[in-house]
Amino acid sequence: MTLATTLKTRRQQLAQHLDAPVLLWSGQSTPRNFPANTHPFRTNSHFLYFAGLPLENAVIHLADGHLTLFMDDATPAQALWHGPSPTRNELAHRIGAGKALPLEDLNRFVDEQVATLRVQDSATVAQQKQLLNRSLAINKQSQQQDLALLQAIVQLRLCHDDHGLTEIRRAAGVSVMAHKTGMTATALNNNLTEAHIRAAMEQVIMAHGMTCAYNSIVTVHGEVLHNNHYHHPLGENDLILADVGAETETGWASDITRTWPVSGKFSSTQRDIYDLVLAAHDACIEMAKPGVEYRELHLLACRTLATGLVDLGILVGQPDDLVEQDAHALFFPHGVGHLLGLDVHDMEDLGDLAGYAPGRSRSERFGLGFLRLDRPLQAGMVVTIEPGFYQVPGILADKGNCDRYANMVNWDRLTQFSDVRGIRIEDDVLITEQGCDVLTAELPTQAHEIETLAAGE
């Protein structure tokens, strides 16, 4: 199926959900330290979904299944510095747009009914607001048609078509190679820092013409959940937690985490916890199928972890009671995963409106509040499954937690696991009619397989 055919089907589906005409902006690049030195441009994801190509400073109009592309052809000066580029008409042909017009014609397509969504760069947001003469925030004052558009797009983008899945599989394939390379690089060299492993992994992504879907986490301090530092040396007894994912040229993401021993061999305590996290991971994948509530997968991971931690003597009590009281969240404070698609947290620019089914909202509970997805699974969804175990000082040293969980944690026993700062195992999972398909299954998860790769054998 050609890109134009895919996009036509998406437009027709949109038209079934929405009467209003739609304008979607691609956005434009943003300055780094001065205007001519920009961050690498990332096209808006909603635009990409319906336009298919990473165009900059372009707009599409969708109405009744018809597509119009607005962009300006390169000027001779631009062609001089940036080389030849396809014309507006050529691009329109590739994406099946019936019409191709310069940006100045946009104002003829604006009326009171037109729906849109706000992009991320402020220069384009200013253009959107000026053209439409209204606010674009997503809140109670939002225009009715913008909310209708948002809901329609969520319905479409929740479940992926063949084109989207092909792209996600491509991204996953390259991410798998990146992780294998990272493990092998650990074995090949001495006196490395986290930066070396990160560089080895991202090189693979870049060499394939892809980019990183998010800022990589490659750290011996896996207990720092959002860690974008890479300066620590790799200690002989450390674990490396690497959360690195590729994004294809047209914006489709993957998201993989593996944790491996620097030495190529888990200590017995590291191995115990690794196997437990893997058990939670495997249990969720076993259970994932259409109709299952994603929140139930999360709770399954919590119960599996709690049970294992009781067996290891770290938690004390009945696993179900412990989960009820969020004791698992002392060691697993985040959700078991999220939607994956054109964004690594798919559609998170819409807040929780994609992740949470209508009428649902975030829990106040310590053990549930960070869950990014609370919907029944449907065939065609891609979600991550990413349980973990972390010893976060900010959680474990918190006075309130120490008091509240005084009798549920064997703090002495816990000290024996001090070489396990953070472990996460994350795969990308497509929900199918029959159950699910792990798109990142080429990358091993078993401890002995990880050891073999990390030992360079």
Q: Which residues bind its own copies (CB under 8 A)?
A: 30-40, 42, 44-45, 76, 79-84, 120-123, 193, 195-196, 198-200, 202-209, 214-215, 221, 223-231, 251, 333, 342-345, 347-349, 392-395, 398
Which runs of E-coded beta strand occur in 109-176?
Answer: none
CA atoms within 13 A on the CB side of 173: 8
Cα first-last separation, the chain: 42
Which runs of E-coded beta strand occur in 262-303?
Answer: none
CB of 379 to its own copies, least distance (A): 25
CB of 245 to its own copies, least distance (A): 11
CB of 105 to its own copies, least distance (A): 26
Nearer to its own copies, 73 or 398 (CB): 398
**Alpha-carbon span 146 to 219, nearest angstrom:** 41
CB of 158 to its own copies, least distance (A): 16
Q: What is the DSSP string of 180-235?
A: HHHHHHHHH-SS-BHHHHHHHHHHHHHHTT-EESS--EEES-TTSSS------B--
Tell me which residue of 305, 327, 314, 334 sits closest to 404, measured CA to CA. Answer: 327
Nearer to its own copies, 262 or 292 (CB): 262
Nearer to its own copies, 142 or 416 (CB): 142
CB of 289 to its own copies, least distance (A): 28
Tell me which residue of 332, 287, 285, 286 sits closest to 307, measured CA to CA. Answer: 332
Phi-psi region of 27 (alpha: psi -120 to 50; beta: other; left: phi over 0): left
Nearer to its own copies, 165 or 213 (CB): 213
Contacts by residues 85-93 (CB-CB < 8 Å, ≥ 24 positions apart): 91/53, 91/55, 93/4
Distances, alpha carbon 314 to alpha carbons 99, 122, 267, 418, in Å: 65, 49, 17, 12
CB of 35 to its own copies, least distance (A): 7
CB of 24 to its own copies, least distance (A): 14
The phi, psi pair for 414, rounded to 5°, reads -60, -35
Nearer to its own copies, 369 or 380 (CB): 369
Nearer to its own copies, 113 or 120 (CB): 120
Nearer to its own copies, 52 or 251 (CB): 251
Q: State whether residue 322 is helix, strand or coil.
A: helix
CB of 167 to its own copies, least distance (A): 15
Nearer to its own copies, 256 or 278 (CB): 256
Residue ranges of alpha helices (H) inside 312-368 are 319-324
